[in-house]
A = this chain, B = another copy of it.
Amino acid sequence: MSSQLFAIIAGAGPGTGRATALRFAKAYPVVLLARRPETYEETVAEINAAGGRAVGVSADAADPASLDGAFEAIGRELMPGLRLAAAVYNAAGGFARKPFLETRVEELDGNFEGSARGFFLFAQKTLPLLLETVPTSPPHAPTLIATGATASVRGSAQLGTFAAGMFARRALAQSLGREFGPRGVHVAHAVIDGAIDIPRTKGYAVNDGVEDGKLSAEAIAESYWYLHTQPRSAFTHELDLRPFVEKF
CB of B239 within 8 A of CB of A238, answer yes
CB of A234 within 8 A of CB of B215, answer yes
Cβ proximity bits A166-184 to B, threshold 8 Å, 1 near / 0 not: 1111111111111111101
CB of B181 within 8 A of CB of A244, answer yes
**Is there a chain B Cβ closer than 8 Å to A116's Cβ?**
yes
CB of B242 within 8 A of CB of A100, answer no
Contacts of A49 in B (CB 8 A): none
**Is there a chain B Cβ closer than 8 Å to A231's Cβ?**
yes
**Is there a chain B Cβ closer than 8 Å to A155's Cβ?**
yes
Q: How far, in whole Å, are A167 and B120 apart by their CA atoms in the complex?
A: 15
Contacts of A83 in B (CB 8 A): none
**Contact-residue size bin, chain A (C-beta under 8 Å from the other chain):** 35 or more
Q: How far, in whole Å, are A175 and B158 apart by their CA atoms in the complex?
A: 7
Q: How far, in whole Å, are A71 and B51 apart by their CA atoms in the complex?
A: 51
Contacts of A167 in B (CB 8 A): 167-168, 170-171
Residue of B with least CB distance to A102 = B124
Residue of B with least CB distance to A189 = B155
In the assembled complex, how far is the CB of residue A197 from the closest CB belonging to chain B, in whole angstroms? 7
Q: How far, in whole Å, are A121 and B123 apart by their CA atoms in the complex?
A: 29
**Is there a chain B Cβ closer than 8 Å to A135's Cβ?**
no
Instruction: Kindly report how many copies of this chain are found in the complex they form together.
Output: 4
**Is there a chain B Cβ closer than 8 Å to A157's Cβ?**
yes
Residues of A within 8 A of B (CB): 64, 99-101, 103, 105, 108-109, 112, 116-117, 120-121, 123-124, 127-128, 141, 151, 154-161, 163-182, 184, 186, 197, 212-216, 219-220, 222-223, 226, 230-248
Q: How far, in whole Å, are A176 and B233 apart by their CA atoms in the complex?
A: 29
CB of B163 within 8 A of CB of A175, answer yes
Q: A234-B241, A235-B243 are in contact. List 18 more A-B contacts (CB 8 A).
A: A100-B175, A101-B124, A108-B120, A112-B112, A157-B175, A157-B178, A158-B179, A159-B175, A163-B174, A164-B168, A166-B171, A167-B171, A178-B248, A212-B232, A216-B231, A219-B230, A236-B239, A238-B240
Residue of B with least CB distance to A178 = B157
Contact A235 to B239, CB < 8 A, known contacts A105-B121, A116-B112, A116-B164? no
